[in-house]
Copies of this chain bind each other. A is one copy, B any other.
């Protein structure tokens, strides 16, 4: 029997308990042993909960119990999750987590402590919710040199953008509706400003490179400036607008960013709509591959945490290889990276546009302005040219 303690009895934590209960037989078979929840750590009271006998408030009780093999850290936030995880690992207990903030901030340190103590720190649920992506990167694409990882990593923003695309509605209106439906938080900044996707692409980039990518250094732009009008141009171009989180190997080094992109309808990520997430990987032998599914939600996320428990149960006393060194990667400057840009400018700038960007096809869907797509150029070059456009309305990057 493998005994587990769940830290944090919120959405994901209670989901973990539910998944283990509902799929007991499948999980036991796959783990090779019965998985049993011994403790649930939470400071709140749950008087009517069927698991109330397992709920404890004192973390020491759990950390000092040699019968506990595995901790599910589903508390979120940096502290006390970081301290608790460190102490668990130091006492040889494996930790499975859905806590992307903590993994992005201290992942390689915790991995090192796990290795030193012959246990595991696993974090499948920290990116892409229930989509298997950490394990495919670590266990499956092991014969590949990965050249780019591009993800739709935030369900809230993908829901909002899909809705704007389909209904022709504005950002504020759709955000309000998403908040009413519970798809967006009351304070939506973490999602709509791209901070959540930024943590997640930091984790994927680190695994892609094998060294630490600091999330603070990833260029991050949210979706708050995207308008219904932008989608009209996108439709005309046979494209949609998605918040992409991307890490790419270039001749100047690794470029990582989170930003809204126009994406063509032939691209596999184009049809990833609503709250779904997907991760598109380009690598040198396999070419393109994609991993698609529910990127959030209680049960999908909990399922990923439980798959980590099963993996820990299969590897008691042995650390599974995960190459994520503590050494920080020096990312290349986003300004040096190249791409095409979609641009909207006020009517009357035709000549200036021609001088700056050459002959362009002018797209007209709104009175008083027009749009066009530039050739490929560096961000720096684009910015220099854009400064000369006195009535630039907006610009959106194009994903090739």
Contact = CB atoms under 8 A, between A and B. Distances in A.
Interface centre among A20, A268, A270 (most CB of B within 10 A): A268
A285 B132 CA distance: 13
Interface string A109-153: 000000000000000100000111001100111111100000000
A368 interface: no
A291 B284 CA distance: 18
Interface in A4-30: 19-20, 22-23, 26-27, 29-30
Interface residues of A, number: 53
Contact of A290 (B144, B287, B292, B310): B292
Contacts of A314: 320-321
B286 A130 contact: yes
Interface stretch (A179-187, A213-221, A231-239, A298-306): A298-306
A265 B147 CA distance: 30
Nearest to A293: B289
Contacts of A311: 139, 142
Contacts of A27: 142-143
A217 B29 CA distance: 26
A307 interface: yes
Contacts of A168: none
A300 B286 contact: yes
B29 A303 contact: no
Interface in A269-288: 270-271, 283-288
A346 interface: no
A210 interface: yes
Copies of this protein chain in the complex: 2
A31 interface: yes
A396 to B, nearest CB: 23
A143 B306 contact: yes
Given A286-B293, A289-B131, A307 B141 contact: yes
A364 interface: no
A242 B350 CA distance: 47
Contact of A135 (B30, B131, B139, B289): B139
A323 interface: yes
Contact of A285 (B19, B32, B271, B289): B19
B31 A285 contact: no
A294 interface: yes
B303 A143 contact: yes
A142 to B, nearest CB: 4
Contacts of A284: 22-23
A144 B23 contact: yes
Contact of A300 (B145, B285, B304): B285
Nearest to A298: B285
B323 A289 contact: no
A151 B345 CA distance: 46
A146 to B, nearest CB: 8
8 contacts: A26-B142, A26-B143, A136-B140, A141-B307, A288-B293, A291-B291, A291-B292, A314-B320
